[in-house]
Structures are given as structure tokens and as C-alpha cells.
Amino acid sequence: MRVKLVKTYIPGLDEVLGGGLPRPGVVYLVGHTGTGKTTLCAQILYERAKRHGEKGLYICTSEHPSLLISRLKSMNIDFEKLVENNLIEVAYGTPISEKNIVTTLLEEVLAKVETGEFSNIALDSITSLVNFIPVVKVRSILGSLYKHIIDKRLLGILVGEISLTGKSPTVGVEEFMCDTIIKLEQYERAEGYTLRLVVLKNRVAGHSRAYYEISITDKGLEVLAPFKP
Ligand SMILES: Nc1ncnc2c1ncn2[C@@H]1O[C@H](COP(=O)(O)OP(=O)(O)OP(=O)(O)O)[C@@H](O)[C@H]1O
Ligand SMILES: [Mg+2]
């Protein structure tokens, strides 16, 4: 199977990744709260749709889609326009029970992936699933999602959350299964905190191992210079 590196078009990120993200491939985008996980994956889906006409599927489990869409618009990520042009679908699946996740959220996602109309999909986030269903079941769900994403030659982005209290619920396989890992962190300084990014793995590209400072403004997320402690 031929794997292509596709550009994210996030300023500064493709160079750090060693060219882009592998497709077919699955990215594990993990980080603390408020560090830009949602912005990063929404911006990738937006740029790929706008520049290449690729249809994206964005599944949010923790944020109401109308709030998400208006918030993204303040950063120039216009999902409304993409929806009008049939270039994005935003699916909202709040995990409220095990039955709801398995029968509605996951089955719908797999059915959508099966249609072959999507090129890029994001699941924001997988962490919330762990709170509702046994970890072994989440593992098999992610395994099945991974297989579907690769078989259909998509780029998949799975978002994971790191808790500020230290202990984060994990599935235990996501970091080994995924082809790329991007980690976003809050870094505390005396005067406050800065945001930084590191690529921990990118299976088919020679990526940088350095930390980079990032900024989030009304123009979206940007990767800046190497991070200085
Ligand atoms: N229009 C904007 N201009 C500047 N910064 C913004 C703007 N909108 C959001 N931000 C910044 O982006 C941060 C949130 O980014 P985002 O929601 O992508 O993070 P996240 O990691 O997904 O957070 P969560 O843990 O809540 O899911 C905010 O804390 C804020 O600092
Ligand atoms: Mg988020």
C-alpha cells in the first residue's frame, strides 16, 4: 500500500513533521486542556477541504457543534462555508452511556467511513469514551476504527486528553497503534505559561524531535521557533 505525506498547511508544522502527515495513517493528537487540540485538527480538515476539495468528517464528543463552529469562525476556520459546500460534516455524539457510544457513535462513524466520501476524519476526543465503556471494549473499537481508516486510505486524527491532575484515562494502545504522535503541552513559567508542541513519532518521515513554541490567534494555530525554557 502506497503511503503519501500530505501537508497540514498549519504554518511551521509540515517542516517539523518532516513533510506532512502519512495518508493512509492515523495521528494521535494528545495534550493538556486548552492547548489547541481542537483548533489543530479542525484547521487541518479546513485547509485540506479548502485547498484540495477533500471532504472531512469531524466528530465531537465534548463540545456542542454550534458553539464549536462559531468559535472556529473567530479563528478564520469557516466550517459553515464548508458545510454549505458539502466539504465537511460535523457529527455530534455525546457519550451518555455504553449503548449510546457503541450503537450510535461508533457504528455511525464506521458507516460514514465505509461510504468512501471522506478523505480526512477527526474524533475529538477518544478520552471521553474511556469514562463510559470498559477499556478492553474501547481498544477493540479503536482497532476497528484504525482498520477502516487505513482500508479506506484516509487520514484519521484521534484526540486524547492529558489531565491537569496528573492521571489521565488512557486506552493503553493508542500511542503504539497510531502512525504519528503530536503532543501539545502547557509549560509553566514564572510569569504564566506558554504552549509548546513536539512530534514524538511520524512513522514514514524524518521528523524533528525538538519542542516548538505555538501560538493561537484569530488566524488559527501557528508553530513558531524552537522552544527555549
Ligand atoms: N479567536 C481566538 N484568538 C486567540 N486565541 C484563541 C481564539 N480562540 C481560542 N483561542 C485560544 O485557544 C485555546 C483553546 O484551544 P482549543 O479549544 O483548540 O484547545 P483544546 O486543547 O481543544 O481544549 P479542550 O481541552 O477544552 O478541548 C483557548 O484557551 C484560547 O487561548
Ligand atoms: Mg478541544
Regarding pTM above 0.85, the answer is yes
What pLDDT score was predicted for residue 39? 98
Q: What does the alpha-carbon distance between residue 78 and residue 57 come to, in Å, rounded to a whole number?
A: 14
Q: Scanning the structure block, which residue is given the C-alpha cell 455524539?
A: 93
User: Residue whose CA is closest, atom 15 of ligand 1?
Assistant: 36
Chain segment 47-68, per-residue pLDDT in tens:
999 999 999 999 988 788 899 9
Q: What does the alpha-carbon distance between residue 119 and residue 19 come to, in Å, rounded to a whole number?
A: 18
Which of residues 140 and 28 earns the better pLDDT score?
28
Chain segment 134-187, per-residue pLDDT in tens:
888 888 888 889 999 999 999 999 999 998 877 777 777 788 899 999 999 999
Range of weakest confidence among 32-41, 71-80, 108-117, 189-198: 108-117
Q: Which atom, in ligand 1's list, is nearest to the CA of 35?
A: 21
Alpha helix segments (H runs only) across 53-106 = 65-73, 79-84, 98-99
User: Which residues, 6 or more positions from 113, have their beta carbon under 8 angstroms from its beta carbon?
Assistant: 57, 121, 145, 148, 149, 152, 154
- Give me the domains of the chain, ranges plus CATH numbers: 25-183 (3.40.50.300)
* Ligand 1 contact, 33 CB (< 6 A): yes
> Once rounded to an integer, what is the mean pLDDT over residues 114-123?
94
Q: How close is the Cα of 2 to the center of ligand 2, in Å?
A: 32
